[in-house]
A and B are shown apart, each in its own frame.
Chain A
Amino acid sequence: MSLFAFYPRDFALSFLSILAEGLPFVLLGTLLSGVIDAWLPPKVMERWLPRNRNAAVAVSGLLGLVFPMCECGIVPVIRRLLGKGLPLSCAVTYMLSAPILNPLVIISTLAAFRGQDPWTVTLLRLVLGYLVAVAVGWVVLKVPVEAALKSGILKEGGHEHGHGGGWRDKCRQALRTASRDFLDVAFYLALGAAVASLFNTGVDQSRIEPLASHVFTAVPAMMILSGLLSLCSSSDAFVAASFFTFPVTAKLAFLVFGPMVDLKLLFLYSSVFRKRFVALMVLGIFVVVALLCIRLGGFYA
Chain B
Amino acid sequence: MVLGLAGWGGVLAYLCTGDRLSAVLHPSFRPLVPVAAGVLFLMILGLLLFPERQACGCCCHDHGHDHGDDHHDDQEHHHGGALGLWRLIVLVLPVWGMFLMRPEGYGLETMLRRGIMDDPSAMDGTYRVPNPPQDPAAMQQENLGGDVVDFLDQIPKTPDGAWPMAVTDLLYAMDDEALRAKLETGRVEVVGQRVAADRNNPRGNRLMLVRMMMVCCAADARPVGILVEIPQGLPPGKEMGWLRVNGKVAFPLEGGKHVAMVIADSVEPMEPPKEQYVY
Contact = CB atoms under 8 A, between A and B. Distances in A.
Contact of B64 (A153, A172, A187, A229): A172
Nearest to B123: A242
Contacts of A194: 93
A192 B232 CA distance: 49
Contacts, number: 230
Interface in A99-134: 108, 111-116, 118
Interface residues of B, number: 76
Nearest to A191: B90
B113 A201 contact: yes
Contact of B102 (A12, A18, A205): A12
A249 to B, nearest CB: 17
Given A9-B100, A9-B107, A16-B94, A168 B113 contact: no
B121 A244 contact: yes
Contacts of B274: none
Interface string B94-124: 1011101110011101101111010101111
Contacts of B94: 15-16, 19, 190
B222 A242 contact: yes
Interface string A123-153: 0000000000000000000000000001111
B258 interface: no
B152 interface: no
Contacts of A156: 74, 76-77
A174 to B, nearest CB: 10
A31 B43 CA distance: 10
A152 B106 CA distance: 43
A197 B101 CA distance: 13
Nearest to A8: B100
Given A23-B36, A172-B63, A13 B218 contact: yes
Given A155-B71, A182-B8, A241 B15 contact: no
Top 4 nearest A-B pairs (CB, nearest first) are A114-B125, A152-B74, A17-B218, A17-B24
Given A5-B113, A19-B94, A194-B93, 13 more contacts: A24-B29, A112-B126, A114-B126, A152-B76, A155-B66, A155-B71, A169-B63, A180-B77, A200-B219, A232-B220, A238-B123, A241-B122, A241-B124
30 contacts: A9-B101, A12-B96, A12-B97, A14-B219, A18-B219, A20-B12, A21-B29, A23-B33, A23-B36, A27-B36, A151-B74, A155-B74, A169-B63, A172-B63, A175-B50, A180-B78, A183-B4, A183-B5, A186-B8, A187-B86, A190-B90, A202-B113, A205-B113, A206-B115, A235-B215, A239-B222, A241-B122, A241-B123, A243-B122, A244-B119
Interface of B: 1, 4-5, 8, 11-12, 15, 20-21, 23-25, 29, 32-33, 35-36, 39-40, 43, 46-47, 50, 52-53, 56, 61, 63-66, 70-71, 73-78, 86-87, 90-91, 93-94, 96-98, 100-102, 105-107, 109-110, 112-115, 117, 119, 121-126, 175, 215-220, 222
